Structure 1
């Protein structure tokens, strides 16, 4: 047998309001409907009847009744937020929605700047509400409230270090907006901004309840043309001003490699192009830390991408390794290297395409292998180690 939840009780403040509404000839069911807006434990009609029959309760002034009605009418039935009680959270959500809408708008060019400013406002309101409810004084004697940069450095900051690093990066971008033109910096900071959106939605849900989620608003932007695979590869090759490149480098220089790889700091996806018909072709997003993500290097690349990412033929790779290492590095040494470090299979192998995609790929159309910059750097570093140096029989 399912037990009904116990009905709520009227507060001492509400009883005079009910009395006043009865005096205005409101029906019991209308008063009950008003009282139950935003209420978890609802009031039943018996509570109203009790007030009606209690001659010791006096009606409250009209202005108090009007304020009570206005406050009750301000509840959002979706989020449960009230304009009078939850103003910071309402503003926080709206600021982040504005940040996303402005960034996704096809008609606006002021994207990175808008997002940096609006998201800072969103995070500030959200954390002010959290610390205020935790009993922290958020407004000092000078009338200034806690800065966002101060809140993320507090010992009682409620979110992960990666979230704090992401917020700090967006703060610095916001500060730079006041003094520098960003031009085409939108793509440069997209991964930071996407992480900020995801962090914000997770934070507001964890701290204040799942009803406040922005998942329906924080979606990917649509466009009227198909995204070519080469476009996805070239997103980071925009003409970015030097001062923006410098800012991006400055942000990364402050963090360790582990902090920079934190998905809470900077959002990353792996684009997997499935082999399928044109009518069904699509991008599949794979988490980089999943088993599938870790195996992504084993997926054959389209030649247009391969030409860009694996540009060096064996002879070119040999020459670059010799130049950068200062050693006599021959084509024979290069063959020794790819065998030793298993960059590619032997020429007699049946599965010639089973290379280590981190360094090398096989071109089926013309039957040869090419290498990337990572391979050059890897071999140069390896042959500087004495035992590796000896195994390849190199000459200084």
Structure 2
């Protein structure tokens, strides 16, 4: 009895508690049906994740929906990959965020009986997801809405990076909010498995023109986004392949970590190909002005200094290597010895200044 009661409990009981209960005449004994359901409920715990089919139904469904989305996409016999993936991924994310808000005490069902839509959730000020994740989910919604009304043809591989990022973002968000034991990494070694690559086939495929309707959808996915936002790995996952100098029979692919020094250098070549003045157009005073215009917050030049030091956007004055900046936010101009900032930096400060607690923490940061 003690072992059965303790299944799924964080705070376990000992045999003494059972004895106390038996001697307490005020406690009414459970009926046969209640005892039977109690046994069924206790048997429904997943020992690996700790989830219970009755107590954590949304999280169970969220994980299964994402697993199904990936399995369908990876299945060689399935033809409607993009269509099914976008719909199931939307279900997975909706269940996940509903569980988050339910635990926060936020009503997820309105007076009309409808629950919060995922598109409404990502626009909420208290949404715990990052900008890159939100951008990815907005792109997924565009694709999901279009597949309900149009035939997309064989365009699955065109949005593989979006789908891959969606899977990785989901696993990361679920683990951060509800615990690392819920990770899908045990069920899915790779979120979306890569097909065996043949350079001749890939080259031939890329020669074909993309249908106009697909190009139009693709343009809508990136509408209003900066180059930095498009390059965000949480928006669209990319893998860089390099070939080692070995014999043809032994040639193989090498995966480069995006955050490694080599990966950042490659990213600068592939993505940051425009002039620095175009990618980092804002001087410190311009940043302060733009943040104040958007948020109406009391944000000063001093607060901006606190911000770039707190978030390590750039090194301090007089640093031996002034060019060692966070390229997402800032760049050093050797010609005139100063720093300019990106649109992404402005957006980050807007998000910080829009949250009273974050703004207070920033202003409390010691230089």
- TM surpasses 0.5: yes
> Which of 206, 215, 237 is equivalent to 2:176?
206
Are 2:246 and 1:276 aligned? yes
Which residue in the other structure is 2:342 paired with?
none
> Unpaired runs of 5+ in structure 1?
1-30, 300-396
Q: Secondary structure at the match of 1:272?
A: strand
Provide the C-alpha distance between the structure 2 equivalents of 1:163 and 1:228, rounded to a whole number of angstroms: 31
Are 2:11 and 1:46 aligned? no
Provide the C-alpha distance between the structure 1 equivalents of 2:148 and 2:267, rounded to a whole number of angstroms: 41
Provide the C-alpha distance between the structure 2 equivalents of 1:298 and 1:120, rounded to a whole number of angstroms: 32
**Could you tell me whether the CA contact under 8 Å between 1:184 and 1:238 is conserved in 2?**
no
Query: How far off its partner does 1:293 sit?
Result: 2.1
Q: 1:1-396 residue pairs with structure 2 within 5 A?
A: 31-218=1-188, 219=190, 220-221=192-193, 226-231=196-201, 240-277=210-247, 280-296=250-266
Q: Secondary structure at the match of 2:156?
A: coil
**Could you tell me whether the CA contact under 8 Å between 1:113 and 1:174 is conserved in 2?**
yes
Deviations 1:305-340 (A, max 9, x none): xxxxxxxxxxxxxxxxxxxxxxxxxxxxxxxxxxxx
Q: Secondary structure at the match of 1:176?
A: helix
Q: Secondary structure at the match of 1:253?
A: coil
Q: Secondary structure at the match of 2:222?
A: helix
Q: Secondary structure at the match of 2:255?
A: strand
**Could you tell me whether the CA contact under 8 Å between 1:183 and 1:240 is conserved in 2?**
no
Q: 1:237 to 1:196 in 2, by over 3 A?
A: farther
Provide the C-alpha distance between the structure 1 equivalents of 2:164 and 2:221, rounded to a whole number of angstroms: 16
Provide the C-alpha distance between the structure 1 equivalents of 2:54 and 2:181, rounded to a whole number of angstroms: 18
Query: How far off its partner does 1:272 sit?
Result: 1.1
Provide the C-alpha distance between the structure 2 equivalents of 1:193 and 1:237, rounded to a whole number of angstroms: 23
Q: Secondary structure at the match of 1:76?
A: coil
> Unpaired runs of 5+ in structure 2?
270-367
Query: How far off its partner does 1:275 sit?
Result: 1.9
Deviations 1:220-253 (A, max 9, x none): 4265xx5224445666555532101110011112
**Could you tell me whether the CA contact under 8 Å between 1:93 and 1:214 is conserved in 2?**
yes
Which residue in the other structure is 2:291 paired with?
none
Q: 1:55 to 1:237 in 2, by over 3 A?
A: farther
Q: Secondary structure at the match of 2:157?
A: coil
TM-score where L is the length of structure 1: 0.63
Which residue in the other structure is 1:338 paired with?
none
Query: How far off its partner does 1:42 sit?
Result: 2.1
Which one has the largest radius of gyration? Answer: 1
Instruction: Considering Cα pairs closer than 8 Å and 6+ residues apart, tell me whether 1 or 2 has the greater RCO.
Output: 2
Q: Secondary structure at the match of 1:146?
A: coil
Q: 1:187 to 1:132 in 2, by over 3 A?
A: same
Q: Secondary structure at the match of 2:114?
A: coil
Q: 1:56 to 1:94 in 2, by over 3 A?
A: same
Provide the C-alpha distance between the structure 1 equivalents of 2:194 and 2:3, rounded to a whole number of angstroms: 41
Provide the C-alpha distance between the structure 2 equivalents of 1:288 and 1:235, rounded to a whole number of angstroms: 26
Deviations 1:157-213 (A, max 9, x none): 101011000000000100000111111110111000000000000000001000110
Which residue in the other structure is 2:352 paired with?
none
Which residue in the other structure is 1:28 paired with?
none
Deviations 1:241-293 (A, max 9, x none): 21011100111123121211111101111111112345643212213443212
Provide the C-alpha distance between the structure 2 equivalents of 1:204 and 1:234, rounded to a whole number of angstroms: 39
Provide the C-alpha distance between the structure 2 equivalents of 1:256 and 1:297, rounded to a whole number of angstroms: 16
Provide the C-alpha distance between the structure 2 equivalents of 1:89 and 1:291, rounded to a whole number of angstroms: 37
Provide the C-alpha distance between the structure 1 equivalents of 2:268 and 2:216, rounded to a whole number of angstroms: 34
**Could you tell me whether the CA contact under 8 Å between 1:183 and 1:241 is conserved in 2?**
no
Query: How far off its partner does 1:39 sit?
Result: 1.3
Provide the C-alpha distance between the structure 2 equivalents of 1:276 and 1:237, rounded to a whole number of angstroms: 28
**Which range moves more in the overlay, 32-41 or 100-109?**
32-41
**Could you tell me whether the CA contact under 8 Å between 1:184 and 1:239 is conserved in 2?**
no
